Amino acid sequence: MKYTQLGRTGLKVSRLVLGTMNFGPQTEEADSHAIMDAALDAGINFFDTANVYGWGENKGRTERIIGNWFAKGGDRRDKVVLATKLYGYMGLDDVEPWPNHNKLSALNIRRAVDASLKRLQTDYIDVYQFHHIDRATPFEEIWQAIDVLVQQGKILYVGSSNFPGYKIAQANEIAARRGGTIGLVSEQCLYNLFERRAEMEVIPAAQDYGLGVIPWSPLHGGLLGGVLKKETEGGRRASGRAAGTLAEPAARAQIQAYEDLLDKHGVEPGEAALAWLLTRPGVTGPIVGPRTAEQLDSALRAVELELSEELLAGLDEIFPGPGPSPEAFAW
């Protein structure tokens, strides 16, 4: 496994991030534990989760699965850089949510971190992430709450997820003005070959402020994982967002061109999509969310995969991206 610094910090993390969103809803606890063991054995030390994972009435289940894995011992917790998130509503009465049980108020930050620590069976979180922006809560309040948690030793670093570029700048400027906090050190954003809008402002802002970029959905919901070939061979058909995208003739032709290019170079689509992200400026490592041990093995091969200049140029031709701002929308 290869490692890199997380943004401007001294924290060393693996170039692949183990995403755990499928643990519980798609993968049973015993299999989830086996995947985490295999990931750790392969050198993946950066695990990502969120308090809402498990979803619906099972919100928090994924953190509990991870906590039970830590409880097995064997230095599991000490070897893992643990990242979780808060923002979503954690009560069970979703139809009529009770106030102050979601978003980023100082009250909910305090409540959410203590609940996550209990589920995760640990006394600290390495990277505590804001899952979304909170338009109603000023960053002065957010950073005051975070300062207390850092002083208490409950969290070490803070990251963002799904933040636009201007919010990354605003958050870190206010943190710098207040002093006493390092500010955001990472940003999780939707970024892959098919969806490159983050290159306009989010990734440049992250680079300027020293945040490590952690792309989520690196295969764009399976769209970049050889979906057309799997359909032809009678395998798992596209669903959800991927199926909707493939219903558009232009997008389907784009994905077909992508698969044809990789077939010509003898490279597996899913591995190529991950390897491409590892070549991108500012990227710490993509989040991979394996449901099975076989999917984890495929992701691990991507770390060692070297994409030729010819192949990289071909990928840029199929998926050109928007380019940086302001040139993407102005002169």
Tell me if 252 sits within 8 A of 242, measured CB to CB: no
Nearest partner of 21 among 290, 285, 203, judged by Cα: 290
CB 6 within 8 A of CB 27: no
Classify each residue of 22-34 as buried b or exposed e, where b means 16 or more C-beta atoms within 10 Å of its C-beta: bbbeebebebbbb
Specify the DSSP class assigned to residue 174.
H
Q: Which of 53, 157, 191, 258 is catalytic?
A: 53
3 state SS of 278: helix
| Token representation of residue 184 | 């955001």
Calpha distance 255→117 (Å, rounded):
42
Rounded distance between C-alpha atoms, residue 58 and residue 168, angstroms: 31
**Distance (Å, whole) CA 216 – CA 220:** 8
The DSSP secondary structure of 237-263, one letter per residue, reads PP-HHHHHHHTSHHHHHHHHHHHHHHH
Beta bridge partners of 214: 188
What DSSP letter does each residue of 59-92 carry, written as one string? TTHHHHHHHHHHTT-TTHHHH-EEEEEE-S--SS
Is 191 one of the annotated active-site residues of the chain? no
Q: Which residues are catalytic?
A: 53
